[in-house]
Chain A
Amino acid sequence: MQHETLVHAEDMGSPDGVLLPVPPVRLGRDAPYANYALGAAFDEMFSSDGDVRDHCAALHGRLATLPPEELIRRQQACEQSFLQQGITFTVYSDKQATERIIPTDLLPRLVTAAEWERVDRGLKQRIRALNMFLRDIYTDGRVLKDGVVPRPMIYGSKHYRREMRGLPVPHGAYVNVCGTDLVRREDGAFVVLEDNLRVPSGVSYMLANREVVRRAFPGVFRAAGVRAIDHYPQELLATLKSLAPFQEDVSIAVLTPGVFNSAYFEHAFLARQMGVELVEGRDLLINDNVVFARTTSGLKRIDVIYRRVDDDFIDPLIFREDSSLGVPGIFNAYRAGNVVIANALGTGVADDKAVYAYVPHLIRYYLSEEPILDNVETYLCREPKQLGYVLANLDKLVVKAVGESGGYGMLVGPHASVAEREAFALKLKADPENYIAQPTIQLSTAPTFVDGGVEARHVDLRPFILHGEKTTIVPGGLTRVALRRGSLVVNSSQGGGSKDTWVLSA
């Protein structure tokens, strides 16, 4: 069952070129894979009959030659490093504020060059279509007139910003930073689960994970030919700069809600790595529709703002008036063309659950191309035929209310009783426009370090797409992992962790 019998040993401090024999390891029987169970889901390291996939052979062998204590030591070194760097979020419980790290798994998740090539093309296609869609619905509304997307779905969305109508944005790029969540189907193909078009976060974890995991497996890393991701901040800077109307002395700032935001580390990290100012709302003021930062030497003009503050909070004069995170008057400065805000306001209208279902249609409509990356199959209950299918298969589907999030207004068919399903069917028939349905998705599993051994855990993948004058995706992303056995929930708030993602160059 072993593909290779020798692995590089230099990450144990041996000189270069020393090769170690790999002992025979049986999946589900021998350490460290004694508790590794393959299920219905696609597994990143093993094929369904338990053979090691070729591109994972080196990592697989390395894990088999490292004593468990050594793996534990390396895992602890990772955690220690995160704690010292202050890559933490704060949990508030009675009086005590505790800082926790988001668990980082020691074992990298590998993506082959061929797989990545398709993901890269597919994501670029998708962001082009989504940006054209946003421009359309904030200008002519051609897509609505042509009946491709139902008008009430857009104009009725709480994320549609009337204030943005007719407002030109540089290069027609509304979404400049996008984090798209991908999952693997059981056949191994990557499909899109969700687009995050507002203020996606997690990119700092992508970069920080690389730092610590590269240190934990230097030999495997070097031998594998992993593509670099460290230039993300430079690419982000170039993207932001390309949005300015001029290219000399562009003054760029990252706008953060402040130190209490759970992604604050990331905001500070990106500002530092790009060498631009990190500002809070209270640092900025507007005079004569121009944005200034208050500095010790006087006021300094700001031309481009990479904002990590939601639409609702960015300008209390236009949006939520109780917001203290924003800058009063900034929207007028934006409207006057004196400052660029990235992402543009109002992008949230294009990432809700109902619009998601239309993205394949949008790709065909705007680009006359077939989608390279599929959506997860989605049934729109507003369409009578699909409603019929959903009603007939309620026991197999997950039904979600379009406007809700966080699991509200949702029916998980396979886990619901007959009575619950019948009650839900009535709601569906009464208000079909408000619902979509999807099959339950088995996320792929990847080897994960658990209790001194290696076990299979479900993962997803969030690459980050940069879109300004051109579109750039650094080869990698944030792999999130559900650390509880069998769990499909990868969110950090619910016991999720993250992994380094290695996109291989060949």
Chain B
Amino acid sequence: MLSRVADSLYWMARYLERAEHTSRLIAVKLESMIEQSTEDARASWARVAVALATDGVAADDDDIFAITQRLAFDRANPSSLLSSLRMARDNARQVREQLSTEVWEHLNRLYLRLQPVTIESTWVHQPARVFRESLEELQTLEGVTFSTLRHGEGWHFLELGRYIERAQLVSRLLDIHFGVDAPGYAEPPPPPKYLDWLVLLKFCTAFEPYCKEYTAAIRPERIAEFLLFDPEFPHSVKFAVDRVRDALARVAPGAPPSRRAACERLAGRLKAAVDFGQIDELIGGSIDAFLVEITHQCEQIHEAVYTAYIAYGAETVL
């Protein structure tokens, strides 16, 4: 597979994952805020703003309309929903010949449908609806991709992008809810309350799976354990890390072991960290450092992939 193509597929998947995450966070937040006091809702929105901000720092507005505008519809914000969709589609367009017609047309249709949408047009009636719809379309796209694309190298680059992004996004959400020094806020919000924990689960589509595993008894350390270490839940960090490692084992099948070594070592190290992590050691102690470390290791894997497969110099292989 051409390196440029692998690069585009990888980024297409990352942007789609980001778009899905953004849609879900905003939809869940808009739906849940009606049950919160003004103050709690404000704190909760501040967390969303930090979770979705490009540089991890929330802008200093606390108006829900403005926050939603910035996170969803602001084209100048590189991580807004519309920007993510546009980037995903631009990348898909560059590798159009590698995608199935179904995948391309589904993504293109979604893009064309959301392009003209403005916050003014959604805000009057059920503002959450457009985000729910976008979420459903993105999940459908995942299914269409699964069932119409060959599960070859291109598919594994999509998986790699999706799960590296997911591991980082979920880690960040956990950091925002469990972290002690609460980074990124102009003014630190009060600690999460009962409803905030429910919302956190819903941010990760984890409410029902969590209840099945632990019953409906909402306990923060169990939530952390579930979202970090559950091996079978698709939005847990462990699940994402396992997929990253699997994908790395299958991309670039013709590359010699010497070129594969760095990526595989890094993926193995990350997997070990998650496999052998203990929630009781982390809670009330080193969870901030642990989550930062996971994000950091994801970035290292990203760089190793680029060095080995995407942006290598010709002199290294001749």
Contact = CB atoms under 8 A, between A and B. Distances in A.
* A contacts with B: majority SS: mixed
B4 interface: yes
Contacts of B317: 298-299
Contacts of A116: none
B132 to A, nearest CB: 22
A269 B97 contact: yes
A271 interface: yes
B148 interface: no
B57 interface: no
Interface string A74-88: 000000000111100
A296 B94 contact: no
Interface size class of A (residues with CB under 8 A): 20 to 34
Contacts of A83: 112
Given A272-B98, A282-B4, 16 more contacts: A84-B108, A85-B104, A259-B90, A259-B94, A265-B96, A271-B97, A272-B96, A287-B314, A287-B318, A295-B1, A296-B3, A296-B6, A296-B153, A296-B251, A297-B254, A297-B309
Contacts of B256: 298
Nearest to B112: A83
Interface of A: 83-86, 258-259, 264-265, 268-269, 271-272, 277-280, 282-283, 285, 287, 292-299
A299 B153 contact: no
B2 A259 contact: no
Contacts of A299: 314, 317-318
Contacts, number: 73
A297 B252 contact: yes
Contact of B96 (A86, A280, A296, A297): A86
Nearest to B111: A86
B3 A295 contact: yes
A265 B104 CA distance: 12
B254 A86 contact: no
Contacts of A295: 1-3, 254
A189 to B, nearest CB: 40
A219 B284 CA distance: 73
A268 B318 contact: no
- Residue of A84, A280, A283, A294 with highest tally of chain B CB at under 10 A: A294
B109 interface: yes
B2 A297 contact: no
B253 A297 contact: yes
A268 B317 CA distance: 28
B86 to A, nearest CB: 10
Contact of A259 (B93, B252, B254, B309): B93
A484 B2 CA distance: 44
B318 A293 contact: no
Contacts of A282: 4
A296 to B, nearest CB: 4
B266 to A, nearest CB: 17
Determine chain B's interface SS by DSSP, over half rule: helix
Interface in B1-59: 1-4, 6
A363 B256 CA distance: 56
Given A272-B97, A282-B4, A297 B104 contact: no
A268 B112 contact: no
B149 interface: no
Q: 9 closest pairs, A vs B, by CB?
A: A297-B254, A272-B97, A296-B252, A296-B309, A268-B96, A271-B97, A268-B97, A294-B3, A297-B255
Contacts of A280: 4
A271 B101 CA distance: 14
A279 B112 CA distance: 27
B239 to A, nearest CB: 25
A278 B154 CA distance: 14
A437 to B, nearest CB: 45
B60 interface: no
Contacts of B4: 280, 282-283, 294
Contacts of B252: 296-297
A212 B189 CA distance: 56
A279 B2 contact: yes
Contacts of A287: 314, 318
Contacts of B232: none
B105 interface: yes
B97 A278 contact: yes
B2 A293 contact: yes
A283 B105 contact: no
A299 B3 CA distance: 10
B314 A296 contact: no
Interface string B78-122: 000000000000100110111001001100110010000000000
B198 interface: no
A298 B318 CA distance: 9
A86 B108 contact: yes
A283 B2 contact: yes
Contacts of B282: none
Given A296-B3, A296-B309, A297-B252, A86 B314 contact: no
B283 interface: no
Contact of A296 (B98, B104, B255): B255
B31 to A, nearest CB: 30
